[in-house]
């Protein structure tokens, strides 16, 4: 069954690239926006600066997609502390306007949010209706975005995910570790923040399944790889898998440290594992363990399954 015309907003972000790749198999047409109107691979797409929110509705009226997937966001967690107005404009105001336009035109919307809406004091995986209390500007702006989308009346799903990475593109922890691991003998990585590293291919596969089945019940859902680890555990796994594949000659020493020993402008939740049961049951999804997700990502295979 064709998914019809799908518009990927933020088509050159790490998730946007994977969505375009994955949805091309099932959609009649995949349209995309970037700020410049060009894709990094040289292809043409629509120009949309989300800082200019009044441009959103006219673009959607012209393109008339069947679905919009919003993969754009202000994701620089530390920088957001000194640019709160910009984070709010991109992560809250623009998604609200996008959702209003989708409601007006009868377009289904899939929007992404984050585990950083939680304060991390939980002791079991967070469910969708657990209380939110973001610790940083990025998390607050994303939570405001969730609220604006929910209030729009659009047929929508808000997918909260976590610790997103792609092996082949984007700014993410995996690629940072591979780079630093090639440069240094020793790294210090926090071992007291727990979460679930989630590859973009897992998210894109899930979006394809969601669009195929349709959005029946609007609202927030949690979507992340199964299992949990710390950033330190993730780093050790990255190096073990990378060395096994010859991507690195040898693994650096990875010293476990406390968050207090790695000061950053933004505070991060100590625990942000997401309970994904609701979405798995609703859409019949099987979500791989984070370690399996890492292996598949580094193998560079099975990305379109």
Ligand X SMILES: Cc1cn([C@H]2C[C@H](O)[C@@H](COP(=O)(O)OP(=O)(O)O[C@H]3O[C@@H](C)C(=O)[C@@H](O)[C@H]3O)O2)c(=O)[nH]c1=O
* C-alpha–C-alpha distance, residues 218 and 154, integer Å: 8
Going from the C-alpha of 239 to that of each of 85, 228, 247, 252, 269, the distances in angstroms are: 37, 17, 9, 8, 24
Per CB under 6 A, which region of 9-17, 185-193, 238-246, 277-285 contacts ligand NDP? Answer: 9-17
List 53, 59, 72, 235, residue binding ligand NDP (CB under 6 A): 72
Taking the least distance from each CB to ligand X, the nearer of 103 and 180 is 180
Question: In the numeric block, which tokens belong to residue 56?
Answer: 């959103």
| 189 contact choice in ligand X, ligand NDP, none (CB below 5 to 8 Å, kind-dependent) | ligand X
The distance of closest approach from Cβ of residue 190 to ligand X in the complex, given in angstroms and rounded to an integer, is: 4
Phi, psi of 217, deg, nearest 5: -120, 100
- Interior angle at CA 128, CA 117 and CA 135, nearest 5: 15
Q: Which two tokens stand for residue 26?
A: 């099932």
Choose, by CB under 6 A, the member of 118, 126, 163, 234 that binds ligand NDP: 163
Closest residue to ligand NDP, judged by C-beta, is: 13
The contacts of residue 180 (CB under 8 Å, 6+ apart) are: 187, 252
Q: Determine the distance from the C-alpha atom of residue 27 to the mean position of all C-alpha atoms in its chain, rounded to a whole number.
A: 21
Query: Would you call 74 a catalytic residue per the annotation?
Result: no
Write the interaction track for ligand NDP spanning residues 116-155; mark x where CB under 6 A is met and - where it is not.
--------------------------x-------------
Residues marked active site are found at 138
Q: Which residues bind ligand X (CB under 6 A)?
A: 75, 77, 114-116, 162-164, 173, 176, 187-190, 193, 231, 262, 264, 268
């Amino acid at each position: 069954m064709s998914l019809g015309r799908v518009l990927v907003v933020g088509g050159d972000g790490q998730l946007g690239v994977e969505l375009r790749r994955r949805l091309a198999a099932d959609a009649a047409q995949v349209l995309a926006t970037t700020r410049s109107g060009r894709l990094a691979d040289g292809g043409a797409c629509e120009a949309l600066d989300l800082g200019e929110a009044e441009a959103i509705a006219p673009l959607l009226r012209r393109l008339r997609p069947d679905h919009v997937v919003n993969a754009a966001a202000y994701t620089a967690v530390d920088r957001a502390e000194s640019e709160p107005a910009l984070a709010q404009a991109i992560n809250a105001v623009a998604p609200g306007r996008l959702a209003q336009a989708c409601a007006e035109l009868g377009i289904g919307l899939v929007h992404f949010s984050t585990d950083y809406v939680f304060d991390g004091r939980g002791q079991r995986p967070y469910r969708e209706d657990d209380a939110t209390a973001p610790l940083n500007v990025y998390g607050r702006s994303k939570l405001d975005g969730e609220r604006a989308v929910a209030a729009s009346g659009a047929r929508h799903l808000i997918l909260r995910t976590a610790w997103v990475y792609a092996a082949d593109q984007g700014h993410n922890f995996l690629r940072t570790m591979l780079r630093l691991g090639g440069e240094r003998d020793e790294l210090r990585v926090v071992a007291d923040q727990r979460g679930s590293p989630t590859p973009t291919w897992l998210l894109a596969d899930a979006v394809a399944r969601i669009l195929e089945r349709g959005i029946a019940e609007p609202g927030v859902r949690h979507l992340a790889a199964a299992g949990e680890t710390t950033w330190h555990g993730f780093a050790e796994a990255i190096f073990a898998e990378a060395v096994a594949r010859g991507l690195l000659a040898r693994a650096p020493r990875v010293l476990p440290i406390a968050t207090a020993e790695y000061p950053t402008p933004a505070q991060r939740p100590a625990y942000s594992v997401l309970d994904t049961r609701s979405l798995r049951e609703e859409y019949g999804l099987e979500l791989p363990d984070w370690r399996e997700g890492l292996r598949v990502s580094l193998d560079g295979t099975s990305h379109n399954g």
